[in-house]
Structure 1
């Protein structure tokens, strides 16, 4: 299991301090996780993270990279809208791929691993990062070179997918 943390302000741009929010993590489907012999079957039961008044949240989720099949979580964000007297929900079309403990912002991906194409229905996730330091986010294509000095001895010219 991996502790996934975040703040609603990071996801939605505002704090839901007075709205009693919660986030539900829904597995993409049943999965078989390799944990030794025998393996472990994970059902599609969802987990919830209660949101603190300042918007911070945490959830202990299974590491999706330990499954034999392609696994991820989708999320549902619910909150009370006191002014409208109703409970509201968002269903972002994101895949949360957990590869260890960390911030949910670094675990969100959009659709297939190699981006969209035709029609623009799926955004292109392949963003290029050019530099000697590691990219700030996962799934960047990283050209390991110094853009300001092509003679820098640290330049390797390697292209990597940062995960």
Structure 2
């Protein structure tokens, strides 16, 4: 079998180093984000996030899968308090899962890398619908927060036939 013809020519690797890129602080209160790959058209968002101690995010339903690798600190789902996720843990979440993310108030917070397919449908503590968080919503929130912080457009990968960075 012969090597296939090149479908998309690539002159350089699309790579990001979060140790040199500014994080977008408080993209959500207490949640600081490095956007890595945002694809609203296909519903895929890849981010690195740092969570402050004492963060409790809304209970949410996943329409797609999530891969979450914890790089530092500790966090857990309120529904699974006996299964904390610590540095080095990889968690797979199937579509249809429901849970509430939290970090301990007296802990160090957490840092992790996530690949999310689909959206989070968020609910308040009484089970009432709050909003839908998807790749397009994340992109909008990150851009607004970065602009407010004077960061300009953060650098992340925009997919497509001519995949490129969001800015150069």
When the two structures are superposed, what TM-score results if normalisation uses the length of structure 2?
Answer: 0.28
Determine which structure has more spread, i.e. the larger CA radius of gyration. 1
When the two structures are superposed, what TM-score results if normalisation uses the length of structure 1?
Answer: 0.29
